């Protein structure tokens, strides 16, 4: 028999489309069991800081509102925006917070970093923790899909389509710099879907000459324009990441590789005018596509099922069309998932003649 619980739900890390649908799914499924749901504000801050910041979520005030259909996070989120105190300090604050709020469980909607943090905070407490993966980077380990990725692919593919049309009008090679940090999933999926000419990802080395050879081939075929998709996390030819900022935990915020490529190509090849477009945070927003909402609903329902069964420290995953769960410790051990250079996506890109680098 279902035991009455009070659960907290929080979103952590960079936002993405589908977070509100996840929250709604958890609210719906948990309410059916007669549980109370506390929506925690601003990632873990709502628990660790005092006064604690949260609100009671119900089907009536949240799931029946327009929010589940919208992007962003209704609860707010933190993307490495806070300088962490020691793990011990933060764990103490977290334990005190969950005790003050009388939470039996916490659902964390985040990437592997957030899962790791919350799972560590909960160790040594009686609080159950279940994770739901989300990130436009799609690099959360073990699961095939994280919420938000497909909507980001859609946004990037639309940008490729739009750029192709204006490139065509002006005989240009247009560069599109997309997000993804150190994983090339977003760049590769959108370059393939948008039939771009070049796709550069962090997992595959490239040369400027390789790009120029592709542009020459396009020119020789009688076509006067090209679209180049580049992941923000690729390095320069001499092996440096480009970044002019650091986030609050000291990690480089990537940006600028598109402009670097523009300069290098333009110096050595004059047949196309080259321009750079950095897509930026629109990739994290937009109307969530159906698959992200579907994932959100099945993940949310599964998370509540796990909590009900007393399963602790697990993250829900999508594997070959099934929803399962794995230990968060295994997720953390695995490290972020890079683009598999032997995948069918990469093979297809190569076989379709997209220049993807030297492999
Ligand atoms: O991890 C998600 C992500 O959107 C990355 O693709 C990107 O590098 C980063 O977050 C941007 O972070 P910020 O929110 O600090 O601009």
Which tens digit of pLDDT belongs to each residue from 21-37? 999 999 999 999 999 99
Positions in the chain short of pLDDT 50: 1
From 137, 182, 197, 292, the catalytic residue: 137
* Residue 280 alpha carbon to ligand 1 centre in Å: 9
Contact 253 CB / ligand 1 (< 6 Å): yes
Contact 278 CB / ligand 1 (< 6 Å): no
Active site residue 112: no
Pocket test for ligand 1, best of 14, 43, 111, 149 (most atoms within 8 A of CB): 14
pLDDT digits (tens, 9 = 90+) for 242-259: 987 888 778 888 999 999
How far is 102 from 123, CA to CA, in rounded Å?
16
Whole-prediction pTM value?
0.96
* Residue 165 alpha carbon to ligand 1 centre in Å: 28
Cα distances (angstroms) measured from residue 67 to each of 18, 61, 118: 10, 10, 25
Q: Is the dihedral of CA 80, 84, 87, 93 positive or negative?
A: negative
Angle at 17 between CA 79 and CA 41, to 5 degrees: 50
| Structure confidence at residue 52 (pLDDT) | 98
Contact 225 CB / ligand 1 (< 6 Å): no
| Structure confidence at residue 86 (pLDDT) | 84
Cα distances (angstroms) measured from residue 23 to each of 29, 149, 295, 310, 317: 10, 17, 12, 20, 17
Contact 149 CB / ligand 1 (< 6 Å): no
| Structure confidence at residue 127 (pLDDT) | 95
Cα distances (angstroms) measured from residue 4 to each of 31, 34, 62, 104, 132: 10, 6, 20, 9, 22
* Residue 108 alpha carbon to ligand 1 centre in Å: 18
Contact 14 CB / ligand 1 (< 6 Å): yes
* Residue 234 alpha carbon to ligand 1 centre in Å: 15
| Structure confidence at residue 82 (pLDDT) | 58
| Structure confidence at residue 94 (pLDDT) | 95
Contact 186 CB / ligand 1 (< 6 Å): no
Pocket test for ligand 1, best of 78, 181, 243, 250 (most atoms within 8 A of CB): 181
- DSSP secondary structure code for residue 147 in this structure: B
């Amino acid at each position: 028999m279902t035991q009455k619980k009070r659960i907290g739900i929080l979103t952590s890390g960079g936002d993405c489309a589908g977070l509100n649908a996840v929250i709604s799914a958890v609210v719906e499924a948990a309410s059916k069991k007669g549980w109370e749901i506390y929506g925690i504000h601003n990632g873990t801050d709502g628990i660790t800081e005092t006064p604690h910041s949260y609100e009671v979520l119900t089907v009536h005030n949240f799931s029946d509102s327009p929010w589940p259909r919208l992007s962003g996070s209704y609860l707010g989120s933190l993307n490495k925006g806070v300088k962490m105190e020691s793990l011990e300090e933060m764990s103490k604050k977290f334990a005190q917070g969950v005790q003050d709020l009388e939470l039996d469980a916490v659902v964390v909607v985040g990437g592997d970093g957030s899962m790791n943090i919350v799972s560590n905070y909960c160790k040594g407490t009686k609080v159950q923790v279940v994770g739901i993966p989300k990130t436009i980077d799609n690099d959360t380990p073990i699961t095939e899909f994280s919420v938000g990725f497909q909507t980001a692919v859609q946004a990037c593919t639309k940008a490729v389509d739009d750029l192709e049309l204006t490139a065509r009008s002006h005989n240009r090679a247009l560069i599109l710099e997309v997000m993804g940090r150190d994983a090339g999933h977003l760049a590769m999926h959108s370059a393939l879907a948008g039939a771009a000419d070049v796709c550069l990802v962090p997992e595959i080395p490239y040369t400027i000459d390789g790009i120029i050879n592709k542009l020459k081939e396009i020119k020789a075929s009688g076509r006067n324009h090209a679209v180049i998709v580049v992941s923000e996390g690729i390095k320069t030819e001499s092996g440096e990441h480009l970044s002019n900022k650091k986030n609050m935990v000291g990690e480089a915020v990537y940006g600028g590789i598109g402009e670097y490529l523009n300069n290098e190509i333009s110096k050595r090849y004059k047949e196309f005018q080259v321009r750079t477009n950095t897509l930026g945070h629109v990739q994290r927003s937009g109307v969530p596509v159906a698959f992200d909402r579907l994932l959100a609903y099945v993940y949310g329902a599964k998370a509540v099922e796990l909590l009900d069964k007393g399963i602790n420290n697990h993250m829900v995953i999508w594997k070959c069309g099934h929803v399962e769960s794995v230990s968060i410790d295994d997720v953390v051990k695995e490290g972020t998932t890079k683009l598999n250079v032997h995948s069918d996506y990469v093979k297809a890109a190569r076989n379709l003649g997209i220049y993807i680098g030297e492999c």
